[in-house]
Structure 1
Amino acid sequence: MTSFLEAHDWRFWDQSVSARSRSALESFAADDTLCELVGSGRSLPAVRTWVHDDTVVLGIQDHRLPRIEEGLHVLQTAGYEPIVRNSGGLAVVLDSGVLNISLVLSERESAIDIPAGYELMADLVRELFPEADIEAYEILGSYCPGSYDLSIGGRKFAGISQRRIRKGIAVQVYLCIEGNGSQRAELIRQFYGAGLGGQPTKFAYPVIRPEVMASLSELLGRTVTVQETVLNLHALLGSPRPTTLAADEMELYGFYLKRVFERNEKMLDQNA
Structure 2
Amino acid sequence: MTSPFPPADPTPPGVGRWRFEIERDAAPAAERLRAEEALLERVRDGEPPTCGIWQAARAIVVPRPWTDLPAFAEAAAGMEARGWPVLPRLSGGTPVPQMPGVLNLSFVYPVASNLWSLEAAYRHLVEPLRHATRDFGVEAEVGEVTGSLCAGRFDLAIGGRKFVGTAQRRRSGGRPGLTVILAHATLWIAPDLDLACAAVADFLTALGRPVDFRPETMTTLAAELGPSRPADRLIAEFTDALRRVIDDARPP
User: Which of the numbers 125, 143, 165 marks the counterpart of 1:159?
Assistant: 165
Equivalence for 2:91 = 87
Query: Is 1:226 matched with 2:238?
Result: no
Deviates more, 1:98-107 or 1:145-154: 145-154
Equivalent of residue 207 in structure 1, options 212, 230, 236? 212
Match of 1:183 in 2: 195
Looking at structure 2, the residues matched to 137 and 70 of structure 1 have their Cα atoms a distance apart, in angstroms, of 35
- What letter corresponds to residue 18 of structure 2 in structure 1? W
Corresponding residue for residue 205 of structure 2: 193
Question: Any gaps of 5 or more consecutive residues in structure 2?
Answer: 1-10, 174-178
Deviations 1:9-29 (A, max 9, x none): 110011232xx233x333333
Instruction: Indicate the residue corresponding to 1:146 in structure 2.
Output: 152
1:71 to 51, 75, 79: 75
Native 8 Å contact 2:142 2:155 kept in 1: yes
| Counterparts of 2:218 and 2:194, CA distance in 1 | 5
Give TM-score, length-normalised by structure 1: 0.73
**Normalization by structure 2: what TM-score?**
0.79
Unaligned runs of 5+ in 1: 198-204, 241-272
- The CA deviation string for residues 63-89 of structure 1, in whole angstroms up to 9 with x for no partner, is 354532443244224311111112222
Determine the C-alpha separation between the residues in 2 that align with 1:217 and 1:72.
30
Secondary structure in 1 matching 2:109: strand
| Distance 1:44-1:127 versus aligned 2 partners, 3 A rule | same
CA offsets, 1:132-180, max 9 Å, x none? Answer: 2212222222221211221111211110001212221110001111133
- Name the counterpart of 2:245: 236
* 2:107 pairs with 1:103: yes
1:15 is matched with 23
Relative distance call for 1:140 and 1:75 in structure 2 (3 A) is: farther
RMSD: 2.7
Report sequence identity in percent: 27
Structure with the larger strand share: 2
Cα shift at 1:52: 0.9
CA distance in 1, matches of 2:73, 2:60: 14
CA contact (8 A) 1:39 1:169 kept: no
- Separation in structure 2 between the aligned mates of residue 169 and residue 50 of structure 1, nearest angstrom: 18
3-state SS of 1:158 partner = strand
C-alpha contact (below 8 Å) 1:5/1:237 kept by paired residues: no
Q: Could you tell me how far apart the structure 2 residues matched to 1:70 and 1:106 are?
A: 40
Q: Aligned AA for 1:180?
A: D
Q: Are the aligned partners of 2:158 and 2:219 in contact in 1 as well (CA < 8 Å)?
A: no
SS at match of 2:97: strand
* Alignment of structure 1 residues 127-146 onto 2, 5 Å: 127-130=131-134, 131-146=137-152
SS in 2 for 1:237: helix
With over 3 angstroms needed to count, the CA separation of the structure-2 counterparts of 1:207 and 1:70, relative to structure 1, is farther
Q: After the TM superposition, which of the residue ranges 70-79 and 210-219 deviates more from structure 2? A: 70-79
Distance in structure 2 (CA, Å) of the matches to 1:60 and 1:119: 26
Instruction: Return the match for 1:125 from 126, 129, 132.
Output: 129
Kept after mapping to 1: 8 A contact 2:55/2:103: yes
The separation in 2 between residues aligned to 1:159 and 1:170, in whole angstroms, is 14
Identify if the C-alpha distance between structure 1 residues 79 and 32 changes in structure 2 by more than 3 Å, giving closer, same or farther.
Answer: closer
Q: Could you report, residue by residue, the CA deviation over 1:21-53 in whole angstroms, capped at 9, with x for unpaired residues? A: 33x33333333333344345x222110011111
Is contact 1:35-1:164 (8 Å) kept?
Answer: no
AA aligned opposite 2:186: Y
Deviation at 1:226, TM superposition (A): 1.9
CA contact under 8 A between 1:10 and 1:45: conserved in structure 2? yes
